[in-house]
Every structure is written in structure tokens, then in C-alpha cells.
Amino acid sequence: MTTTVTLERPAPTSGSAPSWSARLRRAALWAGMVFVVLAIARQVTGADALTSSGTVSDALGLAVPIGLAALGGLFAERAGVVNIGLEGMMIFGTWFAGWAGYQWGPWAGVVAGIAGGAIFGLLHALATVTFGVDHIISGVAINIIAIGATRYMSQEFFLGREDGGVNQGPSVDLINRVSVPFVGGPLGDLERKQWFLLSDIAGLVRGITVDVSVLTILAVLLVPAAFWLLWRTNFGLRLRSVGENPQAAESLGVPVYTMKYVGVVISGALAGMGGAFLVTVYDAKFLEGQTGGRGFIGLAAMIFGNWRPGGLAAGAALFGYTDSLRLREGTIAVHALLLFAALLLIVLAVRAGMTRRWAQVGLTLGASAVFFLIFSVTNEVAGTLTPLVPYVATLLVLALAAKRLRMPAADGIPYRKGGG
């Protein structure tokens, strides 16, 4: 007779690792410092878009689909499965959202988008977990299939309908937007005064409380929900144990295959929800090429966030913010970002000096000098370069954080039951 041991969450122990509350306070402190530096850059350059409510609102909308794709990647990779197919799952999410949203309304489109992504998440799990197909090959195959399959389905279901065709679907109603009562007017007045820091805070708060899509609110709430599920429940402990050491998890009675399937299906569902967001919040219809590589950017945001919900949300916000600046004020706002980068690097140099990391101090101050020099000798950034800014900013921050990244130990490693 075999005995099954139940894997439970261990009791908290004292140690050198900072607690979650300490990490949260540190993150809040850094966010506050970054915002103050941003306000200084806005005051010096006069580029009001740096902290305007319009920029914040647009950045939130641009960050949400990337964040949902990143959350999808998080669940898959915490279960030990690399999901390069996030882009394809988002594409299927957009098509199913456009198909169902046209017939039954935007919320039906969201549900269909989630289901469409989950179905192809299941296909990825079937290929990688059951049949042992290389994770990268399976993900790339899903991305390729998504492009051809959605075009074929559009030809079958959208061609001949009003506004429909082989590369777009019929119009879909947008999901309702809501605002916090009685704050938009006063905050707008304060923002227009352009007072240092006070107007910047007003722009930030107004951007996240006025004219916000209900689906945006739900998507943002998924970040703390994912943290709670993965780090505060027995289900999350089992899922993460499968991604760290599936043989050990198997010896403790964890159904490794089942947990991998669940993680990848959740991954596909979240990516599909990101695709549905584009249809029901942003564009009001399915469009070919609508995802624009957001699945891959979400994967980068997940890595930037060190495979943690809060970190990937910051990565998505970074891309959304820089992309929003590019769209709103273009070369002027991007030029102001050079001063912001120079000032922020000085703050980082001071922090490194407090811990006597002199090599890092020199490198950081040197980079700050380069940014400040470029800012001083130019009046604006060339318009042909501004589309690259979100990608360059994300890659630079990712490169700086690379030494502190730690992926799940068994991520992408083939597993066979009893192999331990």
C-alpha cells in the first residue's frame, strides 16, 4: 500500500529574506522617487505630457493587454512550461471576441476570447506535456497557425457581413467606462495649474479614476489575485513546486501532469483575455495583426518582473507609458525622457554609493552624463526614432535587471512521470 503525502504551505520562518510587506514598502518608495524625478523633468522641460492624465489613461489601456499576456506566461512558466505561443493565443482571443461580440455583445466577446485562448493553451499543453514536443517548437507552431487560421475563419464567417472581410470583423460595442464621482473636475483644475508635484499627482490620480473601462479594472485586479493564488494558497504552492522540481512534487503526491495542464490552460485564457481587451475596449472590432506583437512583449515583461505578478505589472506599465508618450507628444515628450533618464541614473548612482559599489557608481554616472549630453545638444528626438522608444526602454531596463533574474528551475525541462 502506498502512502500519499499532502503538500502544504510551510509555516513562516524568520530569515534574511525580506518579508512581503517590506518588499511592498520598498517598491512604493522607489515608485515615489521615480515619480518625483518625472515631475522634476516635466517642470524643467515643460513637456506636460510626462504626467498628464491623458498620458496616464492611455498608458493604462496600452499596458493592460501586455500585462494579461505576461500573467499568462507567469502561470505557464511557474508550472514549468515555456509559452512562446502567447502571441498566437492572443490572436485567437481577438478573433473569438470579435465573432461573439458582434452577435451577443462585448461581454460575450470577452468570454469567447478567454475560451479561445484557453483552447489553444490546452493544445499547447497536449503537445508539450503529454507528447513531449519541444516547448519552443510548439509555441512557434501555435503562433503560425493563429495567423492562417484566423484569416481562414474570417473569410468563412466575416466576409459579406457589414464592415466584415477577410482581414477584419464586423463592429462590436465597446465595454462601458466608469469614473469615480466628483473627482474629475477638481483634479482637472489642479492639473491645469501646472504646480510642481501637486499637479503631477492630480494628473496621475485623474488618469486612473476617470473614464476607465470596467474590463481594465478587472484586469488590474487580476495582478493581486494572481499573487494571492500563487503565493498564498496550497494550489499555488503545488503549481510552483511543479515548475521548480516536478520529481520532488511527484514524490509528495502532487499530480504533476494535471498541474501543468491547469497552468498552461490558465495561461492561454489570460492571453485570450488580453486579445479580447483589444477588441472590446480599444478597436471595437477584430482586425488582422491587431495584437502587434504584444504577446512577445508580455513575455519580456514577465521576465523583466522576475516571474512575479508585481514585477511583470511594472514591466507592462513601463512599455505602456513610453508608448503612450510617443503617441501623445511624440518627439517633444521623448526628448524630455532623456533628462528623466539622466536624473534617475543619478539617483541610482547615489544608492549604489551608499552600499559602496563603486564600479556601479561610475558606470551609472557615465550613462547619466551621456543622456544629459544628448538632451543638452538636441531640441527633440528624430520622429523616425520615436516608435522604437518603448522597445528600447524595455530592453535597457531588462538588461540592467538581468543579474537579479531567476526563472523557475525546471522551466522548459521535459518531464516524464516516474523519471525521478
Which pLDDT belongs to residue 5? 46
Q: Which tens digits make up the pLDDT trace of 385-407?
A: 777 777 777 777 766 666 678 89
Domain boundaries, the chain: 51-330
Which pLDDT belongs to residue 2? 45
More confident residue, 355 or 295: 295
The beta strand positions in 84-229, using DSSP E, are 177-178, 212-213
Burial 113-125 (b: 16+ CB within 10 A, else e): bbbbbbbbbebbb
The beta strand positions in 212-284, using DSSP E, are 212-213
Which pLDDT belongs to residue 14? 44
Which pLDDT belongs to residue 1? 44
Nearest to 267 by CA among 60, 64, 81: 81
Q: Band of the pLDDT at 241, cuts 50, 70, 90?
A: very high
Q: Which tens digits make up the pLDDT trace of 74-87?
A: 999 999 999 999 99
pLDDT above 90 covers a percentage of the chain that reads 62
Span of 100-104, 133-137, 198-202, 411-415 with lowest mean pLDDT? 411-415
Which pLDDT belongs to residue 176? 94
The Cβ of residue 394 has, within 10 Å, a number of other Cβ atoms equal to 21
SS3 annotation, 153-177? HHHHHCCCCCCCECCECCCCCCCCE
Phi, psi of 83, rounded to the nearest 5 degrees: -115, 80
**Grid coordinates representing 29?**
518608495
Which pLDDT belongs to residue 24? 81
Q: Which tens digits make up the pLDDT trace of 91-100?
A: 999 999 999 9
**Grid coordinates representing 40?**
522634476
Burial 2-18 (b: 16+ CB within 10 A, else e): eeeeebeeeeeeeeeee
Mean pLDDT, range 28-43, rounded to an integer? 91
- According to DSSP, residue 178 is labeled E
Which pLDDT belongs to residue 337? 87
Which pLDDT belongs to residue 18? 63
Class of the domain covering 51-330: mainly alpha
Nearest to 191 by CA among 327, 55, 61, 329: 55
